[in-house]
Amino acid sequence: MKRVAILTGGGDCPGLNAAIRAIAKPFILEDKTEVIGIADGFEGLIKRRVRRLSYDDVSNILALGGTILGTSNKADPFRWKVGGRELDCSDEVVRYLKELGVDVLFCIGGDGTLSIANRLLKKFPRIIAIPKTIDNDLAATEQTFGFDTACNFVMEAIDRLHSTAQSHHRAMVVEVMGRYAGWIALQGGMAGGGDIILIPELPFEMEIVLEAVRRRARKGKKFSIVVVAEGARPRGGGLIIKKKVEDSPDPIRLGGVGNFISEEIEKNVGCESRVIVLGHLQRGGAPTFFDRILATRYGIEAVRLARAKDYGRMVALKGGKITSVPIGLAVSRLKLVPKKHPLIMGGMEIGVSFGVESIT
């Protein structure tokens, strides 16, 4: 291989730079292969914005959050919006890759980025994917990097909220990210000792949530911590949407369910309630130990696949071991929290409410 290219697409997350480093260094040090960094995900291929990555560029970036390459969650070469029209720029993107002399394209992203990569395989088959997303909703891998760091932040935020909730006898509602999956709310909420955890996979009944707050008060616990995923919804109701971004492949921006729950608690229980929307704080900061190692392992395996010319695959974590799967399998469905996940069943045994009477 003479030249390889790397892009990071979709939402940023801790561990992206660790993955870039793990891919670039073996090529630079051992293979004497030129490494090209593509700016801002697929947008860089559409607008022809790339740069050569040197050894110094990928040194001392392991602990950095975000991505040195930039990213975009709007750029889709199959649906590039110009002047109110959607254009298919995929052929131009492939021509540009060939002009650059790219032997392998490494795509680091979540379900949106890797869905684009899967479609692009038909026109440029030399693609290898690396899974990242704080939402942990990519199928065919046990965990994506970025997720552990996000959950650690949620846990630490809940830890800090306990003291003020207890002091003021409040119900603190913590709204977390995750889109249509409840992994962050479930694991971050359980680690932080959330009293009520609401996830998209279990549509909640508001009266059960209210009764959980009342029950704690009857037991002398005059405060409650409610952790709610942004995609959670009441039984029989729809998603609460903050806004729509029309020029995005996924135009829906969730948000507001925390306010809804807080208002219902104040109105029906009588205790004071506050809402904390953690938002993009969950995406920022240095990656945890686990995410640094996972991103590095993924990058090293991606290089091995490229050297073996085993294209069209995504690296994955299974049973603690790094393996790979077809990219198409990884984006065939969203990985949602099973209703009878051990943390849910165990949580119910220790008194955590999930807004439902029982799970069948």
The residues carrying an active-site annotation are: 135
Backbone angles phi, psi at 7, to 5 degrees: -135, 150
The vertex-310 CA angle with 41 and 78, nearest 5°, equals 35
DSSP strand E in the chain: where? Answer: 3-8, 34-38, 50-53, 80-82, 85-87, 104-109, 127-131, 171-176, 196-198, 224-229, 241-244, 252-254, 273-277, 313-318, 321-326
Dist. CA 113–CA 277, nearest whole Å: 26
Q: How far is CA 47 from the centre of its chain?
A: 26
Q: What is the spatial distance between Cα 327 and Cα 115, in angstroms, rounded to a whole number?
A: 8
Separation CA 189–CA 157 (nearest Å): 10
Q: Are 295 and 18 in contact (CB under 8 A)?
A: yes
Q: What is the DSSP letter of 78?
A: T
